[in-house]
Amino acid sequence: MEAMKSEGLGLICRNYRIRQGEIDLILQDRSEVVFMEVRYRASERFGRPEETINAAKRIRLKRTAEHFLTTHRNLRDRPCRFDVFAVSGSKEKPVFDWLRNAF
């Protein structure tokens, strides 16, 4: 979260859940609403963290974002994007990769 704050993003909501899915973080970046998925992998042996977001997960994220926007009318006319914050490596020496406009 510190990396996002240092980039000027403000937290709107954390762990937004509905029956169809969940969004880890919903942030504001100037006028944009950012729906962020956070992924962690201790090892990249079976792929990078961002590679775990398949087509079905993207559909669930988009449906959940649509629901959020219908219930937060003050945000629904703003531009939106989907970011992925990928974390890999050990907890002592994590490696961060922030993919803006990931999908």
CATH of the domain at 74: 3.40.1350.10
Query: Which among 2, 97, 17 is positioned nearest to 50, based on CA atoms?
Result: 97
The three-state secondary structure class of 59 is helix
pTM: 0.88
- Mean pLDDT for the chain? 91
Length of the chain: 103
Q: Residue 41: what residue type? A: R
Cβ 27 vs Cβ 13: under 8 Å = no
Q: Which 3 state secondary structure label does DSSP give 17?
A: strand
Which bin fits 44, alpha (ψ -120 to 50), beta or left (φ > 0)? alpha
Q: What pLDDT, in 10s, does the model give residues 1-48?
A: 676 777 789 999 999 999 989 999 999 999 999 999 999 887 777 778
Q: Quick: pLDDT tens for 50-83.
A: 888 899 999 999 999 999 999 999 999 999 999 9
Q: Give the pLDDT score at 75.
A: 95
**How many CA atoms lie less than 13 Å away from 90 in the CB half-sphere?**
2
Q: Which helix (H) or strand (E) holds 87?
A: strand 80-89
Structural domain span for residue 15:
2-99
Total domains, the chain: 1
